[in-house]
Structure 1
Amino acid sequence: MDYETKGEISVTINNKPFTTYHYSKDRAKPVLYPILGPSGKRMVRDWPLKKDSPNEAHDHPHHESLWYTHGDVNGISFWHVGEKMGKIRHKEFIKKGKDEIITKNDWYSPKGIVQCSDKTRIRFFALPNGGRGVDYEVTIIASNGDVKFGDTKEGSMGIRTHPALRLKGDVATGKAINNNGVSGRAVWGKPAKWLYYWGKIEATEVGIGIFDHPTNPRHPTTWHARDYGLIAANPFGYSHFQGKPRGTGDLIIKDGEKITFRYAFVFLNGDNKNSGVGNIYTKWVFSDAKL
């Protein structure tokens, strides 16, 4: 960690700015923003966290840079924002280390009732050739009765890319592929170990890889990944992704029990071939986030 102000922790890698963890109580959820990749280039959307950034589509205000939420938790949406939606509130830090933070959060209904809690561990790491990474592990705890993560496409471990990495749009240069070779818009709803979106930001080819860990429930996850720059690992939305009966993807955590999901985001130079994203995924799986 570099420094902390009220509701924010700034993170550097090799003494250069990387990201900031935002967790103030006026937020609907904790987020990481901005995220600076190779050569210090911004890799995520600015809006709605920054209002006046050019070439930004003012859609989906709940797509805030990088975050973890879900659209059906005991019937309540934490994915969307608004008075009738759930909110994830920071409770405490367990650890604030040099390259790692561990937090506890409570998930509140619009009426202020805790639906569940989480323990989230976020690690930050450097990669060769200027690459950077975030290892994001979320343990959902049924702290106040049974909790159901419902079958919906609206979730869960998400990122919204820089406009240039979109597959469509005025400044879009993006392409997408998963580890199975499925590409473009067809990656939506497909199970995969990882996805990679890449394109040119300020004439430099860069990309974002999102990894699903083999220990995760329902690995390889299905993906709510869109051509407008949303990429979200979602192992719940089977009725949407696979046309199965509604509720097939429901996951129930019994009172007092917990379940853990682990993901990684890597910000790299290069396209799907010369970035080495597949090899980086393999190393991550067999590492402790120290790549």
Structure 2
Amino acid sequence: MKKHVLLLLLSFAMVSSSIAQANDSISLKILKYKHKVEVRVNGELFTAYSFEPSLEKTILFPVHAPDGTIVTRGYPIAPRAKERVDHPHHVGLWFNFGDVNGFDFWNNSYAVGDERKGAYGRIIHRSIEKAETSGKDGLLKVKMDWMAPDNEQAEKLLEESTTFIFRAKDGAWMVDRITQLTATRDSIVFTDNKEGMLAIRVDRAFEHPSDNPVIYTDKSGKSTGVAVLDNKGITGWYQNSEGNEGLDAWGKNARWVLLAGTKDSSDCTL
């Protein structure tokens, strides 16, 4: 069988109102018993590569800005007060796709019942190949498998080899992701839809203001419906490389997307 390979390079960066340090240093710490690899800058948590068995994919979670501001939503892993509880598959910073050989990898989560799991694929962490640092850079190389659902004998569709490069420079914290997907069967079809491939679910403060009714969490994680949305402190502003701004930037093809917002007096740009 001839193997087909897809290679992707994706970048993510954050800037906040913190003061850059000339001697920024990145460290990686493998915590196998917690199923994660922590990434720290000058001892402060930047993010963690998480491969919890309960997740349907690997993620970077949480993600912090250089001044310590948490930019990712906590729900459903670590819910915080006044968070929206829609789209439980929106967790941290992640990479997958909506339709691979007819299986939905994007929308899979704990919320999908057993009776519907047959339509969903999952990405399973297999190994940490390398974890090393050099001053302001950290490199993490991992391997994963893209699996069809169990009712298909958990067939492996793709082998993934991903290298994360974490950087701290001039007040910005950055992640480069280099992903190689290798087909394990003759026919692998990525059917285009709106789901994919790289996404981050941000904290409520960085969302675009909205008037739609939502369901929030309280500080204990309990869900409560709200008919009228309170936009106080909701400051997210989106723009892309094609000149689209605000809601007009949603669902548009673009070379890059920028999100700016303020949380607890901290100005952040993603």
* TM-score class normalised by the smaller sequence: 0.7 to 0.9
Question: Is the counterpart of residue 65 in structure 1 residue 92 in structure 2?
Answer: yes
Preserved CA contact (<8 Å) 2:105 2:121: yes
Which one of 201, 204, 227 corresponds to residue 163 of structure 1?
204
Superposed, which structure 2 residues align to 1:78-157 within 5 Å?
Answer: 78-81=105-108, 82=112, 83-84=117-118, 85-98=120-133, 99-111=138-150, 112-129=154-171, 131-157=172-198
Q: Distance in 2 between matches of 1:87 and 1:116?
A: 11
Deviation at 1:189, TM superposition (A): 2.8
What secondary structure is seen at the aligned counterpart in 1 of 2:189? strand
**C-alpha deviation, 1:91, in angstroms:** 1.4
1:10 correspondence with 2:72: no
Distance in 1 (CA, whole Å) between partners of 2:242 and 2:195 is: 23
Q: Which runs of 4+ in 1 moved over 3 A?
A: none
> Does 2:249 align with 1:187?
yes
SS at match of 2:160: strand
Higher RCO (C-alpha under 8 Å, 6+ residues apart): 2
How far the C-alpha of 1:145 sits from its partner, in A, is 2.6
- How far, CA to CA, are the matches of 2:140 and 2:66 in structure 1? 22
Task: Please say if 1:173 is aligned against 2:245.
Answer: no
Deviation string for 1:217-268 (max 9, x for gaps)? xxxxxxxxxxxxxxxxxxxxxxxxxxxxxxxxxxxxxxxxxxxxxxxxxxxx
Q: Which amino acid aligns with 1:122?
A: F
Is the Cα–Cα contact under 8 Å of residues 42 and 162 in structure 1 kept in the other structure?
A: yes
Task: State the superposition RMSD in angstroms.
Answer: 1.4
What's the TM-score, normalizing by structure 1? 0.68
Give the drift of 1:46: 0.7
Aligned residue for 1:149, secondary structure, equals: coil
User: What residue number does 2:15 align with?
Assistant: none
- Alpha-carbon offset, residue 3 of structure 1: 4.1
The Cα shift of 1:156 comes to 1.3
Name the TM-score, length of structure 2 as normaliser.
Answer: 0.73
Quote the Cα distance in structure 2 between the aligned partners of 1:24 and 1:165.
26
Aligned to 1:76: 103
Q: 1:162-190: CA deviations, max 9, x gaps?
A: 11110025341111111232111111232
Deviations 1:4-29 (A, max 9, x none): 23211111012221111111333210
Gaps of 5+ in 2: 1-27, 211-229
Deviation, structure 1 residue 119: 0.8
Using the alignment, how far apart are the partners of 2:125 and 2:186 within structure 1? Answer: 20
Residue type of the partner of 1:60?
H
The answer to whether the 8 Å contact 2:239/2:249 transfers is yes
Structure 1: distance between partners of 2:169 and 2:241: 20
Equivalent AA in structure 2 for residue 121 of structure 1 = T
Letter in 2 for 1:165: F
Q: CA offsets, 1:80-99, max 9 Å, x none?
A: 12333111011122211221
Residue 196 of structure 1 and its aligned partner are, at CA, apart by: 0.6
Provide the residue aligned with 2:54 in structure 1.
Answer: 26
- Could you list the runs of 5+ residues in structure 1 that have no partner in the other structure? 209-291
Matched with 1:200 is 262
- CA-CA distance at 1:135 after TM superposition: 0.7
SS in 2 for 1:39: coil
Tell me the amino acid that sits aligned with residue 146 of structure 1: S
